[in-house]
Structure formats: C-alpha cells, structure tokens
Structure 1
Amino acid sequence: MPNQDHVRLVVGFDQREAIAYHAFCQSVIESSSVPLHFIPLAENTLNDYKETHTDGSNRFIYSRFLTPHLYNFSGWAIFADGDMICRKDINKLWQLRDETKAILVVKHDYKTKASKKYFGNINESYPRKNWSSVVLWNCAHSKNQILTPKFIQEKDGSFLHRFSWLDDAEIGELPMEWNWLVDEYPDNPNAKLVHYTLGTPCLKDYKNCHMSEFWHATPARVEEGMGD
C-alpha cells in the first residue's frame, strides 16, 4: 500500500450552503488523530473541468468523480459530501483501504421516504442511491485511470453514480456507520459519519431534523472557543 502519512479528503462544496462544508471539515479536524489534507470541490477552482450536466441537486454532483484526477491518479483519497458531520476519527475510515478494490462505499439499499429534499429538489429512488456520497478511492487503480475531466463531462448520472466502469467485485463495502442517512434510517448514536442527505441543519427547513444536535454542536464549539 502506498505510504501516505496523512488522510486526503475531497469535500463537496456548494456556495449556497457553504457553512455545511466548514462545519464538516471542523468536525473531521476535531476528531482526527493524523494530519489531514483537504480539497474543497468548488466549481470555480476546477480549471480543467467544465460542468456540462444540467441536472443535479448540488454543485458537485458530477465533479466528485474527479477525485482520482485531482490526486494525479496516485495513492488513496476520501470523497465526502459536505452535508455531513464526522463523529469519530477519520483515520479509522482511512484504515479500511483495500488494494484489491477500486473503491469502497457504503452499499445502501433503500427507497427514500421523501419526495423532495433541500432547495425543493426532487428526490427520486434509483439503484445504488447515495453510494457515491462517501467514497474511499483507490486513485491509482487501473480502472479509475479513465476518470478524466472529458470522460466525466460526457457520461450521464446513471453511469457515474452506479460506478458502471467497474466490475462489482472491484467495489468494496464500508460499514453503514460511515454514511448514516438521517431521516432515511433510524437515529443512530453510534453513527461515525452523519449524513444529512435530505437537508443540512444550516437550512431553515431542516434546522430541527433528526440527529441535528450533532451538526449544531460543531459550530457552537467553534464559537465557544473564540470567547467573547
């Protein structure tokens, strides 16, 4: 396995809920036992990628597949949506790397309970829904070398979000606690990555959603540390 002395994270960034990105990164930093390297997946910073897709509920719905490209197809990296809170040491997730796999994901198998989600977006059920919201990427895997900006621009959502360029045997499985879907699954005090997939508590309509206390506690700790 390549020698990487820090965890590399690509985190989805949408200016409409920028505070969600910062809260997530803060929660990762607070609980991490190892050095970290963050890349905010902000559309305006992707100079070699032009978003050609016209659907999607956030600004990084397709650019997330650039993760191997952003690290020059070497080593490992984690992609995570920005609408999460990390409650355990991210190094525990990092240690689940498996060189025999191209990616590792939580293999959700569910039908959504909500017809709409944040910003009024339609929320449809589809195969492998939310698999791509947390991905432990083997950036150097030969099958992932195909993920160039041009390739991603030309492929549709069903192809990308179902990881259709991979064989099923090349997709490893992560424990569900590393991508626990709030309001889709029952409350779980043992969740390690709490995913507010229907709407982050920074948004008015989701301020008091289930497990929102974990999100609100993160910026509150930052404010407390700043003092008066």
Structure 2
Amino acid sequence: MQKLDIYVGYDGKVEPIAYHNFCQSVIEKSSIPVSFTPLALNTLKDYEETHKDGSNAFIYSRFLVPYLNNFKGIALFVDGDMTCRTDIAEILTNFDNDEAVKVVKHNYTTKHPVKYLGAKNEDYPKKNWSSVMLWNCSHWLNKQLTPKFVQEQTGKYLHRFEWLKYPEEQVGKLDETWNWLETEYEYNLDAKLVHHTLGTPCFKDYQNTDYAQEWWETYQRMIYPLKGKNRESEL
C-alpha cells in the first residue's frame, strides 16, 4: 500500500497549534497511511542552524527533507500554517520521476505588507514556492542536500532551487489549489491546501478570514471531540 511521508514546518515559539491542526486536517480526509515529522530544530541532531535571517524556524531545514527521507521515495513538505481540505493522496497524481520537486509556481505581489505579530511581508522572486514541496527524494540532484550543504547556502540559493542543473525544467508544477494563499487570493471552494500565509486563525487579527471557520472546526474536533463547543477564546 502506498504511504506518504509528510514533513511539516514547526515553530514552537510562535504557533505550535498550527502544526497539530494541520495534521488533524490531513488525517481526517486521507485515504492512505501518512506519517508526520515536525521540522523542529531540537530534533535535527545532524543540522546546526547558523543562518541569522528568516521569518520562521524552518525556513532552511525544509530543504533537508530528501536527506531525512534517506534520499528515497516521495515526501511532502508543507508549512505548518495550512489546512488540508481534500484527500492528500490526490497530490501524488501525475508525479514525474524526471522532476526533482513539484511546487505551486505563484506569480503575485502581496496585498499585505504586514503579517502575524507585525512581521514584514516582503515580495521576492518565487515567493511561497517552497512553502509546499512534493519531493522526489531519490532524484540525483537532491542528493546534494545534506545538512552541511544546507548550512552553507543562502536563502536565495535554496528558495530559488539553484542547486538544480535546469531549475525551469526540474521543478515541476502543482495546481495552484495545492497552495491556495488565503487573503492574497479570493475564496476558492475547490482549494485543496489552504495556506494561512499571513497568520493562522489562532492570531486575533486573522480569526475571521475566508477559511478561518474550517480551521476552528478542525481545532474543535481535535481538542473537544465530545463537546463540540466553540472554544476559540480559550487559546
């Protein structure tokens, strides 16, 4: 039986609930076995985070997924601030072994210069491409992505996929519904992975965004499965 290994960005200082809520949303709808690995820096014994830039704790460690998966098979990386609205097995459709990784190739300018906790939300090339990555872990070019290699590279180099020989050809394209940017894009009933990119509904400023109700319903089923009460105020 096919199984999917999912690596999820984890930031214990900012929004740990986002990780757990995302996992719950996947489990509820998946038709295949899934395993979750939080990219928590304290668990990555072979990797020392030496970079000083970055808006979250997993901005570089996401590129360790092929290494963590023993350079074998298919694995999925997602930012933790997401909600899954469909069977995650569907993302494996049309997987191409010639491609090193598949992403949603966003081409947008942000509407919001500020995101959660007042952080700057700046534009840059290939913004949010790397927030959902379906990895071909056994691809020969991905075998460069060792802890030492990732430690030594810049964010620009990694997030623009410059370790690949032909990035335009070796980075495949996922349908944009697999990384639907809430508040940046209009509401889409068919969105499969909603990315609460400005902030999850656990932040006061984002409690009433387009998909916030679905996020809260997932939270309530996870925390209060028998009561089914509205508990937003208790976070």
**Equivalent residue, structure 2, for 1:214:** 214
State how far apart, in whole Å, the 1-side matches of 2:211 and 2:2 are. Answer: 32
Counterpart secondary structure, 2:205: helix
State how far apart, in whole Å, the 1-side matches of 2:80 and 2:74 are. Answer: 19
Q: Which structure 2 residue ranges, 5 or more long, are not aligned?
A: 229-235
Deviation at 1:120, TM superposition (A): 2.0
Counterpart secondary structure, 2:28: helix
Deviation at 1:68, TM superposition (A): 0.3
Q: Return the letter of the residue paired with 1:6.
A: K
**Equivalent residue, structure 2, for 1:7:** 4
Counterpart secondary structure, 1:77: strand
Identity of aligned pairs, percent? Answer: 56
Q: Which structure 1 residue ranges, 5 or more long, are not aligned?
A: none
Is the 8 Å Cα contact of residues 97 and 136 (structure 2) preserved in structure 1? yes
**Equivalent residue, structure 2, for 1:204:** 204
Q: TM-score, normalised by structure 1?
A: 0.95
Number of residues of Structure 1 aligned to a counterpart in Structure 2: 225
Counterpart secondary structure, 1:160: helix
**Equivalent residue, structure 1, for 2:71:** 73
**Equivalent residue, structure 1, for 2:231:** none
Runs of 4+ that moved beyond 6 A? none
Is the 8 Å Cα contact of residues 21 and 222 (structure 2) preserved in structure 1? no
After superposition, the CA RMSD in angstroms is: 1.3
Q: Return the letter of the residue paired with 2:52.
A: T
Deviation at 1:98, TM superposition (A): 1.2
Q: How does 1:31-180 map to 2 (within 5 A)?
A: 31-166=29-164, 167=166, 168-180=168-180
Counterpart secondary structure, 1:135: strand
**Equivalent residue, structure 2, for 1:18:** 16
Deviation at 1:224, TM superposition (A): 4.4
State how far apart, in whole Å, the 1-side matches of 2:153 and 2:226 are. Answer: 46
